[in-house]
């Protein structure tokens, strides 16, 4: 949040100093496009990691901190071993999304990380949204300049 506030102050100072508003909007769109490009790269990396993954049956076991201790993840039992999900677990609808009474199909990557349905959807939707945002940003930049 403080970075956004800092950028807003910088853009306000630029506007007060007489920089053309089109240039300021171009810079804002460029920064947004760069963020979308980095986000798209993030999702591409996760899709590449899924190349050798195999779909297996798993059962949700528990919630716990990931191996770095940064956020809560879902743990799944596959063939008697516990594996952690790649993405953080959702806080809304936990009772619906993570149920211990049924088995589900997940993707098990070569490094032992699990991609559940939510993680797969996040990768696909995040990549698609990033591509759309980049295309809209390029279109708007060509309209401004």
CA 73 vs CA 66, 87, 94, 111: distances in Å: 6, 7, 12, 16
Tell me the pLDDT of the chain (145 aa) as tens digits.
Answer: 788 888 888 888 988 998 888 888 888 888 888 888 898 898 888 888 778 888 999 988 888 787 777 788 888 888 888 888 887 777 677 777 777 778 888 888 887 888 888 888 888 888 889 889 888 888 887 887 6
Structure tokens at 98: 């993570």
pTM of this prediction? 0.69
**Burial class for 90, CB neighbours closer than 10 Å (0-12, 13-18, 19+):** middle
């Amino acid at each position: 949040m403080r970075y956004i506030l800092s950028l807003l102050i910088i853009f306000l100072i630029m506007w007060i100093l007489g920089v053309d508003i089109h240039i300021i909007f171009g810079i804002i769109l460029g920064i947004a496009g760069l963020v979308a490009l980095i986000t798209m790269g993030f999702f591409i990396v996760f899709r590449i990691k899924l190349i050798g993954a195999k779909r297996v049956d798993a059962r949700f076991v528990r919630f716990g901190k990931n191996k770095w201790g940064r956020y809560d993840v879902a743990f799944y039992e596959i063939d008697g071993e516990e594996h952690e999900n790649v993405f953080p677990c959702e806080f809304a609808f936990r009772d619906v999304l993570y149920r211990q009474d049924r088995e589900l199909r997940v993707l098990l990557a070569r490094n032992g990380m699990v991609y559940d349905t939510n993680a797969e959807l996040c990768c696909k939707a995040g990549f698609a949204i990033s591509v759309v945002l980049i295309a809209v940003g390029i279109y708007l930049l060509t309209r401004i300049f």
